[in-house]
């Protein structure tokens, strides 16, 4: 076995794959699929390598498969995410996807990889319905990992290439019985490709290519000449030639599709590194493409040769990491997937039309720039390799922020931020950077075979040290004796040990930073800082979390279902009432025990600690069965067929939304079964004659489901009926209690309306109707009346804007806005609670936008430390699918909102006015300002005005597309 492993590893694709043979050497006993919830990162994009892509015949759908254990379906040519496919997963490699294929008709998606081995001691191919995401069938009993899948152009056959000397399998799509197998392979097969006639060509790391005819008779078996390990082979569109890319060389071979005879080799003389393992032809066969690990100055290129590979070569910049798979399009374009993970689309001229970059931090090479404070409550890291684009996260301040420039040593020292210690008397640790054989005082440290060391940190007392590797965190004593070892979610690119010697902190390849108890390796806390530098979420293994505005659903729970059913995913917001606990998170690093942190937090609340079970708290799930995603819509009546199911009690209701707002339901015909725990129904809606997103939500006693969304591709006649705009501006600077007075809140509301008034003449809206409640006018009753006015006047076509400026506080766990007549001795009677705003804004029929510029001063509630409003939670609650409000908030976490006489406004309002009134937020120059444009401008401008002391945030429902708010010129 060891000899075979070494032979295979010499040509392996990456560290993640190395685990395959190790697990095969020590097979697991068959077991039941685990029903425990698995915490997973969810950004709307893959978080680990994209190894494979596939496109249907009509080129309406792109499928990507990833090591992150998801397959994703994207629309073409727009590139929108349509659905995420989730198969059953387990710990470690179980569930990683290495192969995807989509049937020519676009109806079925085949998924394979490290699939099912953990429970059945054999691997499976999963067949998903593309429209609903349901798992329709499973092809079982495969002896090893599935590396590649390919559908024949006529849809009759599905071919699979397997790991190790196991060859290929071919299945008939008529009955899904195995029609053919060839086990006479000496090593893994990473490619199988059909041509238009039904012939099949395969590659293998045994060095051979194999060609089969339409009846799967072996026509030719030929040793590859360009390298020892042919990786991917593709027929030319006319079926006359086959292009071959290699994993171990920079060669590309073109062979005869008749007998695999060598024809020619494209010029690769300028390729000085890596490989060109992935190949593709243009639809007309005039161009040959290749890409892989070839790069220059950190840029990875796709090479394009004219004259079918005989002519000159052009370098097409594509990505920042290895190109794993290429697929041609009929218009001459090309789709690619990369290791980053990322995917993109080039047009026929080689210009990049779509690029979906990774949304995770890349901690590679950040060894000396991964800093922690003495108690671990703050960390500093780089979002990009080698510490570039530095950022800092403070748990005590609930704040993530980018650092404009590399901070000076004096600044980091003052904050107590220190890099990992890698030198200590008596500890000469060498060869620990990117090697398989680290040493302590000249003696090798024992790791697993082919486990590569990546990072090092020595404890302050010099008695222990931590190694971060590809697969593990390992703590040793000063003699090299192992103290503990734990598996990790990705490569441990950076490790550190806090100055108090209590915590190990590590930065991983999945974009997370995690804290561990040093004495035994118990994980205490995880942080995912989104690459945008604004959103973040932190959580404990038990599921307690806190998050920035817009950040809580960056993590969620993957829950396996029955043996042959697709898994479910629930964003953290589905459990907000039970698990949103900043008070628990704040105590974890102090207590070094999650259970104790929970008990202390509950005691401070005066409540009893109870067990919380994600499985018992799950809401329903829902999917749209028809019409098919991407269907053209020509009528304003839309009929959706949906299916909802619940495992935690009867389904109590089905709701519909259009662009996040309540929809006008014309008819609803549900058909319940299984004690109302499942329902299939049809719902008819009146939709606007424009592009929009229609959502279906299911409800049970636990709460509401994730929304199932249908993007309306409107192709009917245009409707020139314009919406009305309703604006309620509330600004309270003059309070009945003088101690509460603010300088500019009233003026902020007045100035905001002044900036909006020109919209009456600029044509975006038919009418603009406004109300101003400033200072003494903004009583509690008047504000409630104003909210009632917004709800009653706004129709489904219209837009409602609420602007709030004044004091916001936290009382008994709720956000409260302080109107003019606030009595601090009777807050519940004289203030407006978060639920008041949710009730009114959630009932507004049209699109609703809230601009929230609420200041806080410790004197408001007598200097009480916990009285500052939790703006993050309030914004997340409003943006939830149930309420569907777009929220612009002046600050995040525990930050204060600043005002200054030099501006004559609060910083947030000043930025809004510049962006809207002066048109500075019109980045694309189209004369309009959208939600996304205003978000960027306000965030950057407030940061500049306050020298980084205040950070606005924007949250919006998932089902809301980028909305144009104002027009800056007629």
Lowest model confidence (mean pLDDT) among 63-67, 255-259, 380-384, 825-829: 825-829
Q: Are strands 847-855 and 799-811 parallel, antiparallel or unpaired?
A: parallel
Give, as one character, the DSSP assignment of residue 188: -
Alpha-carbon distance 7 to 2, whole Å?
9
Alpha-carbon distance 702 to 647, whole Å?
11
Residues of the chain with CATH 2.40.128.630: 371-616
Using DSSP's 3-state secondary structure scheme, residue 730 falls into: strand
667 pLDDT higher than 80: yes
pLDDT of amino acid 2: 33
Alpha-carbon distance 897 to 641, whole Å?
46
CA dihedral 861, 864, 866, 869 (to 10 degrees): 30
Q: Are 104 and 153 in contact (CB under 8 A)?
A: yes
| Mean pLDDT for the stretch of residues 4-11 | 32
pLDDT of amino acid 868: 59
**Which of 4-8, 489-493, 608-612 shows the highest mean pLDDT?**
489-493
Q: What is the pLDDT of residues 938-951, one digit of tens each?
A: 988 988 888 877 88
pLDDT of amino acid 761: 87
Give, as one character, the DSSP assignment of residue 427: B
pLDDT of amino acid 354: 96
Instruction: Output phi, psi for 532, to 5 deg.
Output: -70, -10
pLDDT of amino acid 356: 96
pLDDT of amino acid 177: 96
Written as one string, the DSSP assignment of 625-685 is EESPTT-EE-SSEEEEEEEEE-SSS---EEEEEETTEE-EEEEEEEEEETTTTEEEEEEEE
Residues of the chain with CATH 2.60.40.10: 619-714
289 pLDDT higher than 60: yes
pLDDT of amino acid 822: 93
pLDDT of amino acid 411: 63
| Mean pLDDT for the stretch of residues 330-339 | 96
| Mean pLDDT for the stretch of residues 864-881 | 73
21 pLDDT higher than 60: no
pLDDT of amino acid 855: 67
Alpha-carbon distance 587 to 408, whole Å?
30
Locate tokens 């904050």: which residue? 415
Using DSSP's 3-state secondary structure scheme, residue 764 falls into: coil
| Mean pLDDT for the stretch of residues 259-288 | 95
pLDDT of amino acid 12: 33
Instruction: Output phi, psi for 634, to 5 deg.
Output: -120, -5
pLDDT of amino acid 9: 31
Tell me which fold the domain 44-82+95-344 belongs to: Methylamine Dehydrogenase; Chain H (2.130.10)
Pick the CATH number of 619-714 from 2.60.410.10, 2.60.40.10, 3.50.50.60, 2.40.110.10: 2.60.40.10
Q: Which of left, alpha, beta for 374 (phi over 0: left; psi -120 to 50: alpha)? A: alpha
Alpha-carbon distance 69 to 38, whole Å?
12
Tell me which fold the domain 725-967 belongs to: Rossmann fold (3.40.50)
Tell me the longest C-alpha to C-alpha distance in the chain: 92
Residues of the chain with CATH 2.130.10.10: 44-82+95-344
* 239: number of Cβ within 10 Å: 14
Alpha-carbon distance 105 to 762, whole Å?
46
Residues of the chain with CATH 3.40.50.1460: 725-967
219 pLDDT higher than 80: yes
Q: Are 126 and 557 in contact (CB under 8 A)?
A: no
374 pLDDT higher than 90: yes
Alpha-carbon distance 201 to 283, whole Å?
18
Question: Band of the pLDDT at 153, cuts 50, 70, 90?
Answer: very high
| Mean pLDDT for the stretch of residues 180-189 | 97
pLDDT of amino acid 4: 32
pLDDT of amino acid 721: 66
pLDDT of amino acid 858: 44
Question: Band of the pLDDT at 430, cuts 50, 70, 90?
Answer: very high
865 pLDDT higher than 90: no
Residue closest to 890 by CA, chosen among 848, 813, 945, 963: 945
| Mean pLDDT for the stretch of residues 671-697 | 91
Structure tokens at 294: 């070839």
Pairwise pLDDT comparison (777 vs 689), residue with the higher score:
777
360 pLDDT higher than 50: yes
Alpha-carbon distance 534 to 892, whole Å?
9
20 pLDDT higher than 80: no
Task: Tell me which H or E stretch contains 877.
Answer: helix 871-879
Pairwise pLDDT comparison (563 vs 541), residue with the higher score:
541
Lowest model confidence (mean pLDDT) among 31-35, 64-68, 569-573: 31-35
Locate tokens 């995410």: which residue? 81
Q: Are 169 and 142 in contact (CB under 8 A)?
A: yes
Alpha-carbon distance 944 to 950, whole Å?
9
pLDDT of amino acid 398: 87
| Mean pLDDT for the stretch of residues 864-885 | 74
| Mean pLDDT for the stretch of residues 75-79 | 92
Alpha-carbon distance 69 to 93, whole Å?
9
Q: Are 355 and 349 in contact (CB under 8 A)?
A: no
Q: What is the pLDDT of residues 793-849, one digit of tens each?
A: 998 889 999 999 998 888 777 888 999 999 988 988 999 998 999 899 988 988 899
Average pLDDT value over all residues in the chain: 89
Cis-peptide, bond into residue 77, ω within 30° of zero: yes
371-616: CATH architecture: Beta Barrel (2.40)
Using DSSP's 3-state secondary structure scheme, residue 520 falls into: coil
866 pLDDT higher than 80: no
754 pLDDT higher than 90: yes
Using DSSP's 3-state secondary structure scheme, residue 797 falls into: coil
Structure tokens at 624: 């749209």
Alpha-carbon distance 64 to 74, whole Å?
8
Q: Are 495 and 372 in contact (CB under 8 A)?
A: no
Q: What is the pLDDT of residues 699-715, one digit of tens each?
A: 999 999 999 999 888 88
């Amino acid at each position: 076995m060891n000899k075979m492993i070494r032979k295979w590893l010499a040509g392996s694709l990456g560290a993640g794959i190395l685990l395959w043979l190790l697990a095969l050497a020590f097979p697991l006993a068959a077991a039941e699929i685990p029903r425990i919830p698995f915490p997973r990162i969810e950004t709307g994009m893959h978080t680990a390598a994209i190894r494979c892509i596939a496109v249907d015949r009509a080129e309406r759908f792109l499928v990507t498969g990833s090591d992150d254990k998801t397959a994703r379906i994207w629309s073409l040519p727009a590139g929108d995410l349509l659905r995420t496919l989730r198969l059953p997963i387990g710990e470690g490699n179980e569930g990683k996807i290495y192969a995807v294929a989509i049937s020519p008709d676009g109806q079925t998606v085949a998924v394979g990889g490290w699939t099912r081995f953990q429970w059945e001691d054999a691997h499976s191919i999963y067949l998903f319905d593309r429209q609903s995401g349901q798992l329709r069938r499973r092809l079982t009993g495969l002896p090893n990992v599935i590396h590649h899948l390919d559908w024949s152009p006529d849809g009759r056959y599905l071919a699979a290439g397997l790991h190790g000397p196991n060859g290929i399998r071919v299945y008939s799509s008529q009955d899904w019985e195995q029609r053919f197998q060839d086990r006479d392979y000496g090593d893994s097969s990473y490619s199988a490709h059909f041509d238009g006639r039904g012939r099949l060509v395969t590659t293998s790391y045994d060095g051979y290519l194999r060609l089969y005819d339409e009846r799967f008779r072996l026509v030719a078996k030929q040793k590859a000449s360009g390298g020892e390990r042919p990786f991917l082979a593709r027929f030319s569109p006319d079926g006359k030639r086959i292009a071959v890319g290699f994993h171990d060389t920079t060669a590309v071979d073109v062979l005869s599709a008749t007998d695999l005879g060598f024809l020619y080799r494209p010029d690769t003389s300028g390729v000085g590194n890596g490989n060109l393992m992935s190949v593709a032809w243009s639809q007309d066969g005039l161009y040959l493409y290749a890409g892989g690990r070839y790069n220059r100055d950190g840029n990875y290129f796709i090479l394009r040769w004219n004259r079918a590979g005989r002519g000159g070569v052009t370098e097409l910049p594509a990505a920042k990491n290895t190109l794993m798979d290429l697929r041609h399009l009929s218009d001459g374009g090309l789709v690619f997937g990369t290791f980053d993970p990322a995917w993109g689309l080039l047009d026929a001229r080689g210009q990049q039309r779509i690029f979906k970059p990774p949304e995770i931090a890349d901690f590679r090479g950040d060894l000396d720039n991964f800093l922690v404070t003495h108690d671990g409550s703050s960390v500093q890291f780089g979002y990009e390799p080698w510490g570039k684009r530095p950022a800092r996260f403070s748990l005590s301040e609930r704040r993530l922020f980018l650092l404009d420039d590399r901070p000076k040593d004096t600044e980091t020292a003052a904050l107590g931020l220190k890099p990992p210690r890698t030198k200590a008397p008596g500890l000469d640790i060498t060869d620990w950077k990117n090697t398989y054989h680290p040493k302590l005082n000249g003696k090798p440290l024992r790791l697993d075979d082919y486990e590569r060391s990546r990072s090092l940190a020595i404890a302050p007392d010099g008695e222990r040290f931590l190694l971060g590797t590809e697969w593990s965190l390992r703590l040793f004593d000063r003699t090299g004796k192992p103290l503990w070892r734990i598996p990790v979610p990705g490569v441990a690119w950076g490790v550190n040990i806090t100055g108090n010697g209590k915590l190990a902190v590590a930065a991983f390849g999945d974009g997370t930073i995690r804290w561990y108890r040093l004495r035994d390796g118990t994980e205490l806390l995880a942080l995912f800082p989104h690459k945008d530098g604004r959103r973040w979420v932190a959580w404990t293994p038990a599921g307690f979390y806190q998050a920035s505005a817009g950040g809580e659903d960056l993590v969620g729970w993957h829950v396996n279902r029955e043996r042959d059913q697709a898994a479910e995913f629930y964003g953290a917001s589905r459990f907000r009432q039970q698990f949103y606990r900043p008070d628990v998170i704040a105590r974890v690093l102090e207590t070094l025990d999650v259970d104790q942190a929970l008990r202390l937090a509950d005691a401070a609340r005066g409540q009893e600690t109870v067990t919380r079970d994600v499985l018992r708290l799950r809401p329903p799930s829902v999917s749209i069965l028809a019409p098919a995603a991407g269907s053209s819509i020509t009528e304003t009546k839309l009929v959706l067929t949906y299916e909802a199911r619940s495992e935690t009690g009867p389904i109590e209701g089905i709701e519909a939304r259009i662009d996040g707002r309540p929809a006008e339901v014309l008819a609803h015909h549900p058909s319940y079964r299984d004690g109302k725990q499942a329902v299939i129904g049809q719902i008819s809606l009146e939709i606007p004659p424009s592009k929009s997103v229609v959502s279906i939500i299911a409800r049970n006693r636990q709460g509401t489901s994730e929304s199932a969304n249908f993007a309306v591709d409107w192709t009917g006649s245009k409707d020139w009926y314009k919406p009305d705009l309703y604006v309620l501006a509330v600004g309270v600077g003059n309070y009945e209690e003088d101690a509460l007075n603010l300088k500019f809140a009233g003026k902020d509301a007045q100035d905001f309306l002044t900036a909006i008034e020109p919209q009456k003449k600029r044509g975006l809206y038919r009418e603009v109707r406004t109300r101003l409640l400033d200072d003494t006018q903004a009583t509690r009753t008047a504000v409630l009346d104003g909210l009632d006015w917004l709800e009653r006047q706004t129709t489904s076509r219209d837009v409602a804007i609420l602007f709030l400026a004044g004091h916001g506080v936290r009382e008994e766990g709720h956000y409260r806005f302080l109107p003019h007549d606030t009595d601090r001795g009777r807050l519940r009677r004289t203030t407006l609670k978060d639920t008041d705003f949710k009730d009114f804004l959630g009932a507004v029929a049209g699109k609703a936008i809230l601009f929230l510029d609420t200041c806080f001063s410790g004197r408001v509630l007598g200097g009480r430390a916990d009285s500052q409003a939790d703006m993050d939670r309030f914004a997340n609650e409003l943006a939830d699918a149930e309420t569907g409000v777009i929220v612009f908030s002046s600050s995040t976490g525990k930050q204060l909102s600043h005002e200054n006489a030099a501006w004559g406004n609060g910083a947030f309002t000043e930025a809004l006015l510049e962006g809207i009134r002066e048109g500075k937020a019109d980045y694309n120059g189209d004369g309009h300002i959208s939600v996304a444009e205003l978000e960027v401008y306000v965030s950057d401008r407030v940061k500049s005005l306050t020298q980084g002391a205040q950070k606005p945030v924007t949250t919006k429902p998932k089902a809301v597309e980028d909305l144009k708010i104002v027009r800056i010129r007629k």
